[in-house]
Structures are given as C-alpha cells and as structure tokens.
Structure 1
Amino acid sequence: MRSPNGTTAQEFIFFAFPHSWGESVICFVPLLFIYAFIVVGNLVIITVVQLNTHLHTPMYFFISALSFLEIWYTTATIPVMLSSLLSERRSISLNGCLLQMYFFHSTGISEVCLLTAMAFDRYLAICNPLRYPTIMTPKLCTQLTLSCCICGFITPLPEIAWISTLPFCRSNRLEHIFCDFLPVLRLACTDTQAIVMIQVVDIIHAVEIITAVMLIFMSYIGIVAVILRIRSAEGRRKAFSTCVSHLTVFLLFFGNVALMYLRFSATYSLFWDTAIALDENMASKNQTTVTEFVFTGFPHLQEGGLLFFILLILIYLFIIIGNSMVYFAIRLDSRLHTPMYFFISVLSFLEIWYTTTTIPKMLSNLVSKQKTISLAGCLLQMYFFHALGITEVCLLTTMAMDRYLAICNPLRYPTIMTPQVYTQLTLGCCFCGFFTPLPEIAWISTLPFCGPNQIQNIFCDFDPILNLACMDTSTIVLIQVVDIVHAVEIITAVMLVALAYVRIIAVVLSIRSADGRRKAFSTCASHLAIFLIFFGSVALMYLRFSAKYSFFWDTAISLMFAVLSPFFNPIIYSLRNKEIKEAIKKHMCQSAIFTHHIK
C-alpha cells in the first residue's frame, strides 16, 4: 500500500492497544502500578546494596547492576505504552521508534551478558572457593559489568543503522505495543531485502540467546556436580541457595526471550502476539498460507505400499528391541559400568528416538490415503531428527576421544575419564545437538509457504521444505548456506575422529605382539564400524551439494539415512562384543530359545 505521493512514513501508529476509553483505562492502571513497582523495587535493592557494607561482594554488586539495568529496560517501553493508552493518536516518530528499539535491545543484551557473568561468578564461588576472592576482585567485577554494557550498547547498532536507511511507504500501522525489529521491518518498501534480513535478524537473536544459555548451562553443570559431592545435606542446601535467585531470574528472563525470538510457529492471535510480544506471520494478505504438506514419496497400498509397510515395521521393531537390549544390558550389568559402555548405552538410547522421529510417521503414511503432515508437525520432525542426529555426531566424536585416551594414555585414563567427566561430555553432546538446529528451524518457521505443498521426500528435511517457500529466486542461495553448515559439522567431526584414529593406529602398530595389537584394536572396531555407517549415510545425504539423483535414489538415500545406523548398531555391538553378549544372556535372555539365538 504505497501512499499516493510515494513519501516515506515519518511516524508509526500502534495498532495493538485497545480502542475504547474504558478498556484503555483498565489496561493503564495495572500497567502504571507494575511500572511503579519495578522502579521503586529495583531502586530499593540498589540503595540497600550500596549503603550496606556487608553486601559489598561480587554477587550483590552484580545484583545491583542488574536492578539498575531493569529500571532502564522497562523505561525504554512502558512510559510510551502508558502515553499511548491515554492518547487518541497512538503514534511514535520514526526517530523515536529507532531510539526505543535501540535502548530496549541494548539494555536487554546487557542483561543477557550480565546474567552470564553472574553464572560465572557463582561457578567460581562454589567450584573454586579458595581462589574466588583473589580472582573475583572489585576491579574484575567492574570490568565484567562495563564489558556487558559495552557489548549490549554496541551489538544492536548495525541493525538500527540499517533499519534507519529503509524507506517506509506502506501502511504505517504497527501491529505491536512498542517498536521492535520484525514489526517495523514488515512496513519497509523493500520486499525481497526485508525478507532476507528478517531471517538474519532472527538468526542473530537466536545465536545471542543460545550462546548465553550454553555458557550458563555449562556453569551450572559444574556447580551441580560440585554440590552433589558435598556429603552433608545442610552443606548442599547452603551451596545451592546462593544460586537459586540467579537461576530464577535467568529462567524468567530467558523464558520471555525464547517466546519473543525463538518462536517456531506464527499462528497466534493479535491478543497473544501483544501479550508476549510475538511476531506475525509473514504471508501477505492476498496469499493462501500453507498449513500442511503432502508427502509424494510413498506408494499407495495397491502399488506395493503394504509390502513396504511390513518391511519397515519389522525394521523399526528390530531397532527398538535391539537397541533396548543393548541399553538395558549395560545398565543392569555392573561389569559394564565403564566409560566405553556408558557411551554405547547412550548411543543406543539416542538411536531409538532418532528413528522414532521419522519411522512412525512413515508407517502412518504408507497405510493412509492422506499422506500429510502439518506445518508445526513438520518443523518439530525436522528439529528432533536433526537434534538427535547432531547429538549422535558429537557422541561418536567423543567416543573416538575416549578410545584415544584409553589406548594412547592407559595409565592416566582412569583419572581423566571419571564418571563426572563422561557424564558432562554426554550432557554437552545433548546440549550441542538440541541447540544447533534451533536457528535454522526458527528461520524456516518465518518463511511464507503459499503453495505448492508437495514434499519430494519421505520425511521433512531442510532442502525439500526450503524449495517450497514463496521466496524470490535470488534468496534461494540460502539453501546453499544450509548445505555448508551441515558440511562443516560433518567434516569437523570426521577430522577429529580421523586424527584420533591416526594416533590410535600408530600406538597399536608399535605394540610388538600380534595378540596385543588385536586386543587393543578390537576395542575400537565396533565404534569404527558404526562411525563409518553413520557418516557414510550422512555424506550421501548432505555432501552431494549440486549433484542430482533420480526420485528413487533420493528416497532410498533418505530411508538409508534414517534407519541404517540404528539398524546395525545392536547387531555390531551384540555380535562383536563378548561382554555385551554375556550381559544380554544373563539379564535379557533367560529362556533357552533366546539363549540359542544369541549363540
């Protein structure tokens, strides 16, 4: 809707506030009280901390800094909201809008950095209590706080500078209660550029949030590990009580941030968009937004679908039962409570859920006439499939490091690979796996899908979905970015595993006796086989770049990628591993029939 004279809008009108006077007053009064409570409450905390010398410690210094930021964080938006609720013309100038966005995001990012610094402070206080006073000096506390503020006030500058150059000649109705990046970007007159940059803004926010959460999460892993080693319950309670307040504020703040910037579906009403400041759907008003996709890679029942169904359900049952047997055999047999078998049990657990994200839906599509999946269901399937897959990549790399330490440093291995360390490594793998795909999923969730809705695959994956987006052809280059991201992940893991095995082979070959070499390498054979199967299928799936296969081979590769590694995992570890076979016999196969099959 370009204005008749083509001029750029100099002000925006907030359209999310209630229109009637009575409703505005009802909203105004509680909002005013909330704002007064925020300002007075945080000022009281700052005054008490500054006046009481007993509270002149790093923890309370950070708390007072957080209270100071909270005052300005709310002041960036609430006064304008209060003014808009009482005025007939609920407008804000373009410059005022840019300033509001800048101070809202700069104070918000400063809070993110400060909460991360506070987690680091709690980590040092609990995990290094003797060195804490010498490390966390007043000078360092001040430097950390100033760094948080500098980071916060510099980070949004490029985005604000870019938005200030955009022409705004559409409708100036802002579907929001304050100025924020995405609602303002939708009013720009540059459709293609705005669409691409909206994705960039989404990814930037996601990276900021995920990086901070990862650092805080890793700090609390160390904190929890130390607290659990404290023998007395009173000691554990006192240690953890110093973290409860920070953890509560962290969860509240990042919970709201996640609702704001890591939203996967744009289907909320204007009421909920206003309540939690969410983005709207990017589909334009004259387009029909796709709400479900149709899989075209499945044959009908009369065309062999039943045969594929029977074969696939047998494979799925074998994967579930086989990996469950390996998992429970290791869990139940105390002789197998070692780092190597711990990682194998985790791998088996992941394989079960890895296949469960895709195969049940495949089975359903093989026997149903409507071979469809909703947009939200497709996003969830992509997320969990890739999250579990990346977790397996990290775990297989960790298992290679474990074998490297066991063979190349056998004397130090028990002191290095402790239960605490391999638990932390496993949690780190899961954390990496479940956070890595978030930016891609968040970006895809904002794309407009207006037809066609036929997925040329047997499950939802990035490339087939991206090809259905209603985007200008110049932006399809972003599909190549997704390919490169996957390639970097795969190649990095392969290089680390290859380097570990180069060193392992060198050490094994230096062993004089043939029996010693055989025993040393036998501990790696199963891992190496699973690694080659998994990464072989991954390479076929994601490292073909511009190579084009027929529809049959695309489907075959996708199916192999989903089931090959989970299928062979229990076979390799039950046939090649004497300890696991004995554990299965002892705990899982008491009857003569099952014992006969294991033999």
Structure 2
Amino acid sequence: METQTGNNITEFLLIGFPTRLELQLVLFAVFLIIYLLTVIENVVIIITIKCNVKLHKPMYYLLSSLSFLEIWYVTVTVPNLLNTFLTQNNKISFFACMIQLYIFISLACTECVLLATMAFDRYIAICFPLLYPVIMNNTFCLQLTIGTWLLGFSVALVKAIFIFRLRFCGPNVINHFFCDISPVLNLACTDMTFTELVDFILAMIVIMIPLVMIIITYICILWTVVKMPNNLGRQKAFSTCVSHLTVVIIFYTTTLFIYARPKKAGPYNRNKLVTILYSIITPFLNPIIYCLRNKEVKQSIKRSLVTLHGMVLGTLMSSAAR
C-alpha cells in the first residue's frame, strides 16, 4: 500500500454550503446560535450535576460524560464552518484535515459505546435494583467511563491510520463541511478496497455491537417493567429510559445511514444534511431531551438558577448601597 509520502495534496477545499452571500450570513447566524446554545446547555448540565449532591449517581455521572463529549463534538466542526461562512476561506491543510477526521470519528465511536454503557446502567437499575449500588459503584462507573473513551479513540485511531496512509494526488475538493471519512476516501487515487473493508468492519463493530447490546438491555427492561405489580412503578421505570431511548434512536438512525455501508457513497448533498442531524442538531437536542424528561435534573437546574439569581441580586444591591 502506498503511503502519504507520495501525496501531491497539501491542502483540501471544503465546499460546505455554496449559496449566495446573504444566505451564507443567515446560515452563519443560525449555526452560531445553535453552537453557543449547545455549549451552554451541556455546560449547565455538567455544572448542575457537579454541584448537586442528589445528582451524584452513576446515571448522571454518565450523562455529564455525554454532555462533555457533545461539547467537543460540535467544537470539532462548527467553528471551522462558521469561519468559512464569514471569511469565504474554505481551505484546510492536509494535516489539519486528518486531525479533524480522527477527533470527530473518535467522538462518534465513543458516543456509540457510551450510549450502550448508559443502557447497561438503566438495565442494572431496573432489573436488579437491590444490587445496583453494589454493581454500579463509583470505581466501576469511573472504569466504565474511561474504558468507553479509550475504546472509542482506539478504534478511531486504527481507522485514521489506514486513511492517512492512502495517497491523494488530486482533485482536492471535499464536498462536505468538514473532513469526514466518505468524502475523504472519495479523493484517494490509490486502491482503497482494503481500507474501505477495514473501515466498514470497524464501523460495524463499534456501531452494531453497542446497538445490539442496547436492544437486548431494553428487551430485558421491558420484560421486567411488564411484570411490575403497579402502574406507578412502571411509569417511574419508563420515565428513566425514555430520554435515553430517544437519543439512541436519533443518533443511530443517522449514523447507520452514513457509516454502516460496505461501499462509500458518492458525495451527495443529502449526506451533508444527514450529517448535520447527528453532528450538530443531536448535541443541541440531547440536553433538552434529558431535561424535559427528567424531573430531578429540571428541579436541580431551577434551584441553581434561583440561587444564581439571588446571588446576582445580592451583589447588585450591595454595590448600589455603597
């Protein structure tokens, strides 16, 4: 296999969303607002969980890990897209492109495994409630989280190494708004059959195995919930799972469409729209979904806002008194 040393390409051109300048400014404002709200939402969740003792539980610890991941997920792609809208400079160096590709797929792989870990947490909590504090202790929860991130970044590293070793000799135009696997592979000028096969196998492993685990855990959860003697217990069990299941459905339907294909698709514009759903819209919606469906998180955020409001008022009043 030829290596990157024979490359004629030193930079790529990201097509992004080629439209009129007026529309690009509108898109800049829209994506900027979504990005800022996404970061703020997830930071609020992390701080709320950190500062409220009642939320120091494995479920919320994993949720804060997901929020931390989502912040980086949008930060890898959106700022560069905003810069393109504003400056019309759509160039990205070969090295920066490979780094962006690696970090993005690392976070995507990590999210797949993390969602499965969160499903496992709900499975233990509902199916084995008496053993839950013993099994999901702080040490094991920390080990699960670290293992999730290590696995995601390790799988992505293998995928990135095979892509990095390909030879790129032109054209250098990527029909996407960031360096993703499919559009980058479309530009390779060497035989990439083996690289595509490795990428597909790893994608199936990191996507399908966690997905199968999630499906199995929810089948077990459903079976346990159905056997519960009262409606109140069923409602409480379902309420802790609905948010996670909603996030899983949104994330996996779009991810499977893009990555779980044995042959890389052509650079169709519809792929960019689907990518926006799971790389920008989903991180924006996740905090809203979890907060709307979770009373503990909603109440904790309200208490934090009331406390913050009181502190601000107190500071203003003391300043005015001086």
Q: Which of 187, 210, 215 is matched with 1:468 structurally?
A: 187
Q: Aligned runs of 1:178-217 on 2, under 5 Å?
A: 194-195=1-2
TM-score for the superposition, normalised by structure 2 = 0.90
Q: Which of 306, 309, 317 is matched with 1:591 structurally?
A: 309
Distance 1:395 1:548, change over 3 A: closer
Corresponding residue number in structure 2 for 1:445: 164
Q: Which of 225, 239, 257 is matched with 1:540 structurally?
A: 257
Q: Which of 185, 195, 207 is matched with 1:478 structurally?
A: 195
- 2:70 paired with 1:344: no
Q: Which of 497, 518, 522 is matched with 2:214 structurally?
A: 497
Instruction: State whether residues 291 and 298 of structure 2, in contact with CA within 8 Å, keep that contact through their aligned partners in structure 1.
Output: yes
Alignment partners' CA distance in 1, 2:24 and 2:125: 48
Instruction: State whether residues 574 and 580 of structure 1, in contact with CA within 8 Å, keep that contact through their aligned partners in structure 2.
Output: yes
Structure 1 residue 550: Cα displacement: 7.7
SS in 1 for 2:6: coil
**RMSD of aligned C-alpha atoms?**
2.0
- State the AA in 2 paired with 1:344: L
Instruction: Structure 1: state its 5+ residue gaps.
Output: 1-193, 199-265, 267-280, 284-288, 593-599
Structure 1 residue 547: Cα displacement: 8.6
Instruction: State whether residues 526 and 576 of structure 1, in contact with CA within 8 Å, keep that contact through their aligned partners in structure 2.
Output: yes
Alignment partners' CA distance in 2, 1:476 and 1:305: 37
- State the AA in 1 paired with 2:309: S
Higher relative contact order (CA 8 A, sep 6+): 2
Distance 1:303 1:544, change over 3 A: farther
Structure 1 residue 419: Cα displacement: 0.3
Q: Aligned runs of 1:140-179 on 2, under 5 Å?
A: none
Distance 1:416 1:338, change over 3 A: same
- State the AA in 1 paired with 2:183: P
SS in 1 for 2:9: coil
Corresponding residue number in structure 1 for 2:81: 362
Alignment partners' CA distance in 2, 1:477 and 1:443: 9
Corresponding residue number in structure 2 for 1:321: 40
Alignment partners' CA distance in 1, 2:71 and 2:277: 15
Structure 1 residue 367: Cα displacement: 1.7
- 2:259 paired with 1:512: no
Structure 1 residue 364: Cα displacement: 0.9
Structure 1 residue 540: Cα displacement: 1.9
Distance 1:494 1:401, change over 3 A: same
- 2:279 paired with 1:555: no
SS in 2 for 1:437: helix
Alignment partners' CA distance in 2, 1:363 and 1:385: 17
Instruction: Structure 2: state its 5+ residue gaps.
Output: 311-322
Structure 1 residue 491: Cα displacement: 1.1
Corresponding residue number in structure 1 for 2:315: none
Alignment partners' CA distance in 2, 1:540 and 1:387: 18
Q: For each residue in 1:356-401, what CA deviation from the matched residue of structure 2 results, as whole angstroms up to 9, or x when unmatched?
A: 1111111111122220111111111111111111111111111111
Instruction: State whether residues 323 and 348 of structure 1, in contact with CA within 8 Å, keep that contact through their aligned partners in structure 2.
Output: yes
Alignment partners' CA distance in 2, 1:391 and 1:410: 27
Corresponding residue number in structure 1 for 2:11: 292
Q: Which of 566, 569, 581 is matched with 2:283 structurally?
A: 566
- 2:92 paired with 1:373: yes
Distance 1:406 1:335, change over 3 A: same
- 2:295 paired with 1:582: no
Alignment partners' CA distance in 2, 1:428 and 1:588: 34
Alignment partners' CA distance in 1, 2:118 and 2:94: 36
Structure 1 residue 305: Cα displacement: 0.8
Structure 1 residue 582: Cα displacement: 1.2
SS in 2 for 1:404: helix
Q: Which has the higher helix share?
A: 2
SS in 2 for 1:517: helix
Larger of the two Rg values belongs to structure: 1
Corresponding residue number in structure 2 for 1:522: 239
- 2:6 paired with 1:282: yes
Q: For each residue in 1:404-441, what CA deviation from the matched residue of structure 2 results, as whole angstroms up to 9, or x when unmatched?
A: 11111111111111100000100000111111111221
- State the AA in 2 paired with 1:534: F
Question: What percentage of residue pairs aligned between the two structures are identical?
Answer: 39
SS in 2 for 1:290: coil
Q: Aligned runs of 1:207-286 on 2, under 5 Å?
A: 281-283=5-7
Instruction: State whether residues 300 and 366 of structure 1, in contact with CA within 8 Å, keep that contact through their aligned partners in structure 2.
Output: no
- State the AA in 1 paired with 2:6: M
SS in 1 for 2:169: coil
Alignment partners' CA distance in 1, 2:269 and 2:15: 12
TM-score for the superposition, normalised by structure 1 = 0.50
Alignment partners' CA distance in 1, 2:263 and 2:24: 31
Question: How many residue pairs are counted as aligned between the two chains?
Answer: 310
Alignment partners' CA distance in 1, 2:165 and 2:135: 45
- State the AA in 2 paired with 1:408: C
SS in 2 for 1:500: helix
Alignment partners' CA distance in 2, 1:449 and 1:562: 26
